[in-house]
Copies of this chain bind each other. A is one copy, B any other.
Amino acid sequence: MGRKTTKSGKIRLTEVAKLAGVSPITASRFFRNPEALSLAKRERVDSAVKELGYVPNLAARALASHRTEVIGVVIPSLTNNVFADVLRGIYDSSEGSRYSIQLANTRYSILQEEKLLRLFRAQKPAGLIVTGINQTADSRAILESMNCPVTQIMEIGDSPVDMMVGFSHYDAGFAAISHILAQGRRRIGFLGARMDPRVQRRFEGYREAMKAASLFDPNLIVTTTVPTTVTLGGTLFADLVARTPDIDAVFCVNDDLALGVLFECQRRQISVPRDLAIVGFNDLEFMASAVPSLTSVRTNRYEMGRHAVTMVIEAIEGRRPEVPVLDLGFQLMVRESSTALDT
């Protein structure tokens, strides 16, 4: 009397095996290691699967095998374009594989991060990708106790939990300032928002470059912990100009701020780059399109996502990388907004 095609919950591996005339475990192997089956049985199982419309039960699989096929990804923001690119890389690279991505958003809160990591631990992910290197001690402990490959992304540093892929925000900040200095600018303002750990390291790059040139001056610095927007760029710039009118360049910790500064300059008839050089960070697509085109520091976000997933998957499958830390570097994209001063 038992139905089988309807009430889709009914078709188990057993049914498939029965129809194919094999044992359940052979049918099971068909999915995990098809090559281990004789061609004949492989085809029999294959058609049985199709005929019955068999859909594997992931929960049963996970319970029996003690592992899932999900890779957890912990990022601090969904609205930040930077992470959108990283995520694209992650999803693109994971698609070919059998792993699926589970995303979690900390909103830049390390306590929230801790909570999410606890949640992940309950789920026994096959691998984990987390943003940055500033986890709490508890978070680190969780990560280390998780018995799965972990890749930290966006930046690099000593003492990785496991693997890392990113670049040095300090170096990138330093390089940006060195470039501006090389153009003959001296009063270089710093505009910062959000001030997360990576932004702070860019700031350190700025500070050290300025100090090395004996040009550091606290009056050149305007920061806020408020999230970044284009509008905020204009506001911060207005603050900076009010306090320090003689600036001849501005380094913005991201491109949204830089665009806001450009608009504010247009509003105030400040000529860019003649009166003011502008340099952003991340090299979002619009930077090249702006008038004047805006200099920025390109970061390889999409590649970061791709590498992170690849490294994790390789590690899951036993092929650990020779070096656990991958530096993807950055490129200074010099454009009109930071050309040399006429002298």
Contact = CB atoms under 8 A, between A and B. Distances in A.
Main SS class of interface, A:
helix
A63 B60 contact: yes
Interface string A229-258: 111011000000000000000000000100
Give the oligomeric copy count. Answer: 2
Contacts of A123: 58
Contacts of A233: 289
Nearest to A9: B66
Nearest to A55: B122
Nearest to A112: B95
Contact of A230 (B8, B9, B285): B285
A110 interface: no
Contacts of A36: none
Nearest to A293: B263
A331 interface: no
A58 B122 contact: yes
A122 B87 contact: no
A32 to B, nearest CB: 15
A258 to B, nearest CB: 12
Contacts of A145: 8
Given A58-B123, A79-B84, A263-B291, 10 more contacts: A8-B145, A78-B91, A100-B102, A101-B103, A102-B102, A229-B286, A233-B289, A259-B286, A266-B291, A267-B291
28 contacts: A8-B121, A8-B145, A57-B122, A58-B123, A59-B60, A59-B62, A59-B68, A59-B124, A62-B62, A63-B63, A78-B87, A81-B84, A84-B84, A88-B105, A100-B119, A101-B103, A103-B103, A229-B285, A230-B285, A230-B286, A231-B286, A231-B288, A234-B289, A256-B286, A259-B286, A263-B290, A263-B291, A266-B291
